[in-house]
Amino acid sequence: MAASQEHISNTTPMGGRLTADGATFRVWAPGAQHVYVSMGGADDYTPRAEDELVKVVETGHWTGFFPGVLDGTRYRFYLAGPGGRGLRRDPRARELELFEYPPRCDSIVRAVDSYPWHDRDYRTPVINDLIVYQFHVGVFSALDQAGRDIRPYRVAKFLDALERIEYLADLGVTAIQPLPLVEFQGEWSLGYNGTDIYSPEMDYCIGPADIAPYLARLNALLAKKGFPPLGPDDVGGQVEQLKAFIDVCHLYGIAVIPDVVYNHAGGGFDGQSIDHFDFPASPNNQNNLYFSGTGYAGGRVFAFDRPEVRQFLIDNASMFLQEYHADGLRFDEVSVIENYGGWSLCQDMTQTLHFLKPSAVLIAEYWNNPREHAIRQPPHGMGFDLSYADGIRNTVRGALAEARAGADAQVDLVPLHHALGQNPQNTPPTRMYNCLENHDLVLDGDGDHRWPRIPLLADATDSRSWYARSRSRVVTGILLTAPGVPMLFMGQEFLEDRLWSDNPTRADRFIDWAAMVTDPTRADFHRCTKDLISLRRSQPALRGGATNSYHVDTLNRVLAFHRWVPGQGRDLVIVISLSESTHTAYSLGFPATGQWQELFNSDYYDHFPNPWVQGNHGRTIAYPTPMHGLPASAEITIPANTILIFAQPPSE
């Protein structure tokens, strides 16, 4: 006798889902001849009639209800198809058996609403208020109870990252963008080869025997916000640990925007994975339930033309927003999705997610042209909120590379001038997602060296020299004052010069947290970054105002641009210099006459507070002499390798 159809309807959730008296199971396997639910984890399971699901012929789904199933019950599907038979993990399993690596790994039934959330009053920042910090959970941070770094030869965990939440809140970032968080094959990875995309990466999680010190740290963070402690059962599951991480981020004012990969899955598929899930008669790349015949990045491109696959991906994204309270998603290589027939998937995805959570921030890594296709609304665009941009990144890095050639080298600031003043890809400036470093650019993939980190780009011979420090301050200032949403990569805020690796045995590639204590130049740079972030948060013109790059002086390596809020003013003038000499009595156009405060001077942060600081003593006065297309001008001092920010005092 087949499984009961109690609680089953055409709206029954996919996967294993708890009810008041058991669990429903629903799986898509149109090519299978029989599908069973194997409870309890037996690798030598023999099919039984009472375990068999009932097929809905019209849709290819199999369904059944099993009484008595509890939270934490282990299961796998057993499928028989034209090409064979055997156990398969649930493609939608919310959790996998901890430390039992595939293929000897069960799916686990988990309640989707058991975690006691504390973030009811948290609100996702609006797009203009985003300042994003990207990091990799597995190598970001891990300390023992004595405060010693225990990352070497050990993958860091979700709850390890909580050690840095107060640090990130103090830094002032408003969102984090962790690299992919879902299950991949093996112990460590960048995360872009996920195979079980509904399950948290098990190596980022803690088993019950080791949870006590993590729970103590978690409860200390909750207590600081006035909440009672959690117990071991509240964070015993992998799902709950990821939820607790996001929950605490919200309590400390930080949005969480996970990285998701929907252009492909894998590789490294094992025999019980989603690959050839329903045992087709001819298991080849052209005959694969979830995938097309195309390979990408070592894995398989999803079959975007199949409605069930599209729903599988949309439901996965919805899970992060609804079940995990994520504030948005960063979509990896949307260009690839478009190239292989996924244009309408992206439209359906963004429209669904914005309906479910209007505040969700959806970021597209999209490199096709025109770039505006990513952020235009359907039917003429995909409907994302932000799109990756490389204009600021490439021109800043280009100018920095030229500047390091010495005082006599030509530094062409015209490309940066154009990148600040106009966007050749027609993406509205406030919808651009900017960075100078990210996980791809500064990755040392066991010898696959890519681009240098900013301090070494600034001075290839000495990443702690005055040249490296001062130039790095300038370009960090550009990132945080330019139009668009800025993203920092882990360690960038304190002058990290090491390429990074996801390999936990590469301690020489970990970001060096201790250096902020042992190296005063790191601490000074961190203070500079923190103050720039604070300035961005306090100045509306930096977050969403208009931009006019109005002066470029290649001979003297000086550039100036104007930021303001249309209709409100709140004008700012940003002046950058990559010259190795101080310019005194430098005549520069200003948008209005009168006194202008020198809000920020990066020279002040060298040997903070710099006793030899050059600058304008906190202010300058603009007179009604038009210059550089503006109605006023002033004579200012521009220190060598410095960024200055001027603002008009608020009116009385």
What is the per-residue pLDDT for 652? 43
pLDDT for 207: 93
Q: Do residues 384 and 362 lie in contact, with contact meaning Cβ atoms separated by under 8 Å?
A: yes
The per-residue pLDDT for range 175-224, each reduced to its tens digit, is 999 999 999 998 999 999 999 999 999 999 999 999 999 999 999 999 99
pLDDT at position 424 over 50: no
Note the pLDDT tens digit of each residue in 240-290: 999 999 999 999 999 999 999 999 999 889 989 999 898 887 767 777 899
pLDDT, tens only, 473-491:
999 999 999 999 999 999 9
Which amino acid, residue 158? F
Helix residue ranges per DSSP H, 116-235: 137-140, 165-171, 212-224
- Please tell me whether the peptide bond between 611 and the residue prior to it is cis, using omega within 30 degrees of 0: no
To the nearest 10 degrees (0 to 180), the angle between helices 238-251 and 212-224 is: 30
Dist CA 467 CA 514 (whole Å): 23
Look at strands 61-67 and 22-28 and give their pairing.
antiparallel
Residue pLDDT, tens place only, 68-103: 999 999 999 999 998 899 999 999 999 999 877 777
Q: Which domains does the chain have, with CATH numbers?
A: 15-108 (2.60.40.10), 547-647 (2.60.40.1180)
Helix (H) or strand (E) holding 632: strand 632-638
Query: pTM of this prediction?
Result: 0.96
d(CA 401, CA 456): 10
509-524 per-residue burial string, b: 16 or more CB within 10 A, e: under 16: bbbbbebbeeeebbbb
Residue 649: pLDDT band (50, 70, 90) is: confident
The yes-or-no verdict on residue 425 having pLDDT over 60 is no
For residue 434, give the DSSP letter: E
Average pLDDT taken over every residue of the chain: 95
pLDDT confidence of residue 450: 85
Instruction: Please tell me the chain's helix, strand, coil percentages from 3-state DSSP, rounded to the nearest 5.
Output: 30, 25, 45
- Alpha carbon distance 167, 104 (integer Å): 39
391-403 vs 466-481: helix crossing angle, rounded to 10: 160
Distance CA(581)–CA(601), nearest Å, equals 15
